[in-house]
């Protein structure tokens, strides 16, 4: 075999994405709120862009504008955002405690380590290492935090959170301590075992469980948080006399134009200035065209989804049809990846509520009599309704659910029912029966 240098000609094809194409794809994936932030950044770089910021609200839509002319003081989300946060509330209490400087610093640090629900999930050893505190300082700081209101903050487990609240009520007796140590038995409805480990009778167990239900398992959630994420609809769907109507939420869309008067004013400079202005103008024109194309694409895809799922908007979840991204792509003559980008992070508002576009895509469950199948999302909703309506002493097994669904024409396997039940967070029939019977005795 000869090992010598030589020249070869080779032909191959490759896809090269221009910066403009990359920008268009990026814009398509953004929600309206993300788009407004992106455009505001571009305006800072390009002096030729005339920009009117979007209104960062939930939007009312053209058909709802009369109901949306409220002042900022009437916006309930504004009131929530103005609430004091858990961390501010704790800091205010700790500053007025009679603590030494080291203990106060440790308490403030631990308060900052708490999560939104009020729990301390960070390990004390990690806090000690990161903030150069001794374990004694951490222990003293934690005691200070756990003495704050609301009672239960600073707990490391659910049992500790409930114990702090019971201690404040002077109800943390040995029987209640045993109950807290065996909460897993309560969740499974094994009340007879609880009676034995707590050394009390059934009536006392029932009273103790009532006391536990009156406690707050997540005391931190009653406070405002530093950031509140609101699902802002990108699309409105309504049904009127003319049929189904799909509109973009223009209130959250930035309005961008190219300032041609400014272009003419600056175009009289030297060669370097003209090159800069030409580049800015090209970039501005491309951004405007990309935004227009994005709006048309989203509206086209959303309109097809609304057309395919028309009965959902009048009859609810049970009327959802099985629908895939490939089906929509073929109907609107776009690539399947484009449908995926449009559906990502976009929300649709209608009379049924606000839903992510991905919600309307689901696999099919076959029909017993053939023909069009059932949406897996609709089947899950039907299972939830059946379980909610069951009697405490006659909870439905997975086999019973299969029988009832097949009687309604849905051809479904038992393992699929079990999988959907797990997705919905529904316990087994045995666990549900124990829980419902224990609740009925209270």
Say whether pLDDT at 394 is over 80: yes
State mean pLDDT over 374-386: 91
Show the CA angle centred on residue 337, arms to residues 335 and 338, nearest 5°.
Answer: 70
In sequence order, the β-bridge partners of residue 367 are 410
Residues of the chain above pLDDT 70, percent = 84
State mean pLDDT over 153-182: 88
Distances (CA, A) of 124 to 95, 151, 163, 373: 22, 20, 20, 54
Q: Using a cut of 0.75, tell me whether the model's pTM lies above it.
A: no
The answer to whether the peptide bond before residue 150 is cis (omega within 30 degrees of 0) is yes
- Two structure tokens written together for 153: 């903050």
State the pLDDT at residue 91. 87
Which of 253, 296, 350 lies closest to 53, judged by CA? 253
Q: Could you report the per-residue pLDDT of 56-107, keeping only the tens digit for each?
A: 544 444 333 323 333 334 444 444 434 678 888 888 888 888 888 888 888 8
State the pairing for strand pair 255-258/49-52.
antiparallel
State the pLDDT at residue 266. 62
Which of 372, 389, 356, 47 lies closest to 231, judged by CA? 356
φ, ψ at 119 (rounded to 5°)? -90, 150
Q: Could you report the per-residue pLDDT of 261-312, keeping only the tens digit for each?
A: 766 666 666 677 778 788 888 888 888 888 899 999 999 999 999 999 999 9
Topology of domain 364-441, CATH: Arc Repressor Mutant, subunit A (1.10.10)
- Two structure tokens written together for 431: 């666990």
- DSSP label of 1: -
State the pLDDT at residue 302. 95
Domains in the chain: boundaries:
86-222, 235-360, 364-441
State the pLDDT at residue 19. 66
227 three-class SS: coil
State the pLDDT at residue 333. 93
State the pLDDT at residue 49. 82
**In angstroms, rounded to a whole number, what is the distance separating the alpha carbons of residues 86 and 89?**
5
**In angstroms, rounded to a whole number, what is the distance separating the alpha carbons of residues 382 and 416?**
13
Say whether pLDDT at 400 is over 50: yes
Q: Are 438 and 209 in contact (CB under 8 A)?
A: yes
Residue 426 C-beta-side C-alpha neighbours within 13 Å = 24
**In angstroms, rounded to a whole number, what is the distance separating the alpha carbons of residues 191 and 201?**
10
Other Cβ atoms closer than 10 A to 380: 21
State the pLDDT at residue 54. 61
State mean pLDDT over 122-145: 87
Q: Could you report the per-residue pLDDT of 4-32, keeping only the tens digit for each?
A: 777 777 776 655 556 667 777 888 888 77
Q: Could you report the per-residue pLDDT of 249-258, keeping only the tens digit for each?
A: 888 788 888 8
State mean pLDDT over 122-138: 85
Residues of the chain above pLDDT 90, percent = 20
**In angstroms, rounded to a whole number, what is the distance separating the alpha carbons of residues 399 and 367?**
18
Comparing 172-176, 299-303, 433-437, the range with the smallest average pLDDT is 433-437
State the pLDDT at residue 365. 85
51 three-class SS: strand
State mean pLDDT over 197-211: 84
Comparing 48-52, 87-91, 320-324, 388-392, the range with the smallest average pLDDT is 48-52
The residue that leads in pLDDT, 211 or 75, is: 211
- Two structure tokens written together for 7: 């020249």
**In angstroms, rounded to a whole number, what is the distance separating the alpha carbons of residues 386 and 432?**
13
State the pairing for strand pair 347-350/235-240.
parallel
State the pLDDT at residue 17. 54
Q: Which strands form 243-248's sheet, in the order they lie side by side?
A: 243-248, 235-240, 347-350, 353-356
Strand extents, DSSP E, 331-419? 347-350, 353-356, 364-365, 374-375
**In angstroms, rounded to a whole number, what is the distance separating the alpha carbons of residues 353 and 424?**
19
Which of 15, 115, 50 lies closest to 280, judged by CA? 50
State the pLDDT at residue 75. 47
Dihedral sign from CA coordinates of 356, 357, 359, 360: positive
Say whether pLDDT at 226 is over 50: no
State the pLDDT at residue 20. 65
**In angstroms, rounded to a whole number, what is the distance separating the alpha carbons of residues 109 and 343?**
41
């Amino acid at each position: 075999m000869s090992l010598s240098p030589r020249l070869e000609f080779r032909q191959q094809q490759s896809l090269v994405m221009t910066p403009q194409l990359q920008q268009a794809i990026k814009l398509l994936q953004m929600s309206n709120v993300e788009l407004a932030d992106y455009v505001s950044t571009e305006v800072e770089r390009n002096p030729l862009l005339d920009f009117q910021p979007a209104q960062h609200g939930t939007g009312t839509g053209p058909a709802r504008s009369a109901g949306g002319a409220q002042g900022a003081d009437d916006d309930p989300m504004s009131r929530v955002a103005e609430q004091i946060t858990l961390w501010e509330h704790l800091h205010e209490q700790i500053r007025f405690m009679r603590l030494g400087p080291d203990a106060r610093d440790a308490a403030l640090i631990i308060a900052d380590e708490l999560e939104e629900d009020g729990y301390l999930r960070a390990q004390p050893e990690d806090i000690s290492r990161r903030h150069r505190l001794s374990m004694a300082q951490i222990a003293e700081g934690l005691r200070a935090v756990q003495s704050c209101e609301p009672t239960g903050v600073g707990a490391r487990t659910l049992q500790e959170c409930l114990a702090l609240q019971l201690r404040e009520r002077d109800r943390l007796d040995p029987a209640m301590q045993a109950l807290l140590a065996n909460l897993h038995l309560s969740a499974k409805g094994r009340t007879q075992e609880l009676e034995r480990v707590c050394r009390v009778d059934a009536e006392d167990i029932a009273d103790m469980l009532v006391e536990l239900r009156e406690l707050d398992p997540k005391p931190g959630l009653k406070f405002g948080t530093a950031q509140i994420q609101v699902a802002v609809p990108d699309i409105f769907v309504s049904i009127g006399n003319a049929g189904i109507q799909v509109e973009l939420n223009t209130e959250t869309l930035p309005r961008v134009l190219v300032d041609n008067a400014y272009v003419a004013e600056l175009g009289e400079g030297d060669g370097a200035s003209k090159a800069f202005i030409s580049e800015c103008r090209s970039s501005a024109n491309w951004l405007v065209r990309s935004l227009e194309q994005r709006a048309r694409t989203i509206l086209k895809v959303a309109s097809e989804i609304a057309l395919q799922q028309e009965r959902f908007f009048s009859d609810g979840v049970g009327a959802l049809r099985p629908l895939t991204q490939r089906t929509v792509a073929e109907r609107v003559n776009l690539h399947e990846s484009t449908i995926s980008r449009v559906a990502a992070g976009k929300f649709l508002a209608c009379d049924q509520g606000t839903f992510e576009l991905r919600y309307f895509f689901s696999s099919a469950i076959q029909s017993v009599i053939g023909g069009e199948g059932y949406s897996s999302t609709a089947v899950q909703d039907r299972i939830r309704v059946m379980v909610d309506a069951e009697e405490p002493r006659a909870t439905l097994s997975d086999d019973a659910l299969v029988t009832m669904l097949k009687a309604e024409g849905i051809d479904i396997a038992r393992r699929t029912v079990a999988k959907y039940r797990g997705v919905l967070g529904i316990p087994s029939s045995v666990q549900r029966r124990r829980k419902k019977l224990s609740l009925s005795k209270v």
